[in-house]
Amino acid sequence: MASVARITGMTIQTRRERERAERRRLIVTAARELAEAEGWDAVTTRRLAAEIEYSQPVLYSHFKGKGAIMAAVAVEGCAELAVEMRRAREAAPGTRAALAAVAETYTSFARRRPALYDAMFTHLVDLPFATPEAPAALQEAFGQLLAVVTPVTAPEEEPGLVAETFWAALHGLATLMRSGRLPEPAHARRLRLLVDRFAKAGDE
């Protein structure tokens, strides 16, 4: 006769899989917190292993390597950025305001969560980007840029290209500023200037 466990799916197998999933989350969360607190240089496999109170090889039974862990953190970051941008866009009163709000949200995110941002967009992590296989969170984030940019796209332009170009500009501002190559104080003015250039068909 089939046991209750078998009926409800609470077999030993499922318990182990659940524990594995939990530990995987533990790794990703620890990596993220450590990175946000002390930067990615501090996220060594030894340090991370100590943080989760397991030995190093455990990491490699969950991820192919450090890069894969960073990629997992990056996906989390994408989801959060997408949420923040959506909120900013939907709260904005008009087309131009939405463009400005999303731009501000994006660069603010990069500044508030530098480690997260680096994992997502500057470090070399093997994440599929410009393909259908890209993570849903990433596509969602890009979707927000697309939504906010479509109203200011000229008839002869393609919204996708405008979104990509706008994204690139925001990314450039964020990274150059964070590496000290652009002076911080003028950031707001640069951002306003960029929005001006892209919101030529703004309704407000």
Residues found near DNA in the complex (CB under 7 A): 12, 16, 20, 43-47, 54-58, 60-61, 65-67
Min dist CB 7 to DNA, Å, is: 15
Would you count residue 176 as binding its own copies (CB under 8 A)? yes
Find the shortest distance in angstroms from Cβ 199 to its own copies. Answer: 10
Q: What residues numbered 103-162 form the site for its own copies, per CB under 8 A?
A: 121-122, 124, 129-130, 157-158, 161-162
| 164 binds its own copies, rule: CB under 8 A | yes
Structural tokens at position 60? 């490699």
57 lies in the binding site for its own copies (CB under 8 A): no
Q: Does 167 bind its own copies (CB under 8 A)?
A: yes
Quick one: what does residue 189 bind among DNA, its own copies, none, with the CB cut-off 5 to 8 Å set by partner type?
its own copies
d(CA 103, CA 193): 11
Report in angstroms the alpha-carbon separations of 116 from 38, 56, 110, 121, 123.
Answer: 12, 23, 8, 9, 10
CA distance to 18, 25, 198, per residue, from 167 (Å) = 38, 30, 11
User: What does 136 interact with, of DNA, its own copies, none (CB < 5 to 8 A by kind)?
Assistant: none
Residue 102's contacts (CB-CB under 8 Å, 6 or more residues apart) are 85, 88, 89, 92, 144, 145, 148
Q: Cα separations (Å) of 80 from 16, 23, 70, 146?
A: 29, 21, 15, 17
Where does this chain bind its own copies (CB under 8 A)? 121-122, 124, 129-130, 157-158, 161-162, 164-165, 167-173, 175-176, 179-183, 186, 189-190, 193-194, 197-198, 200
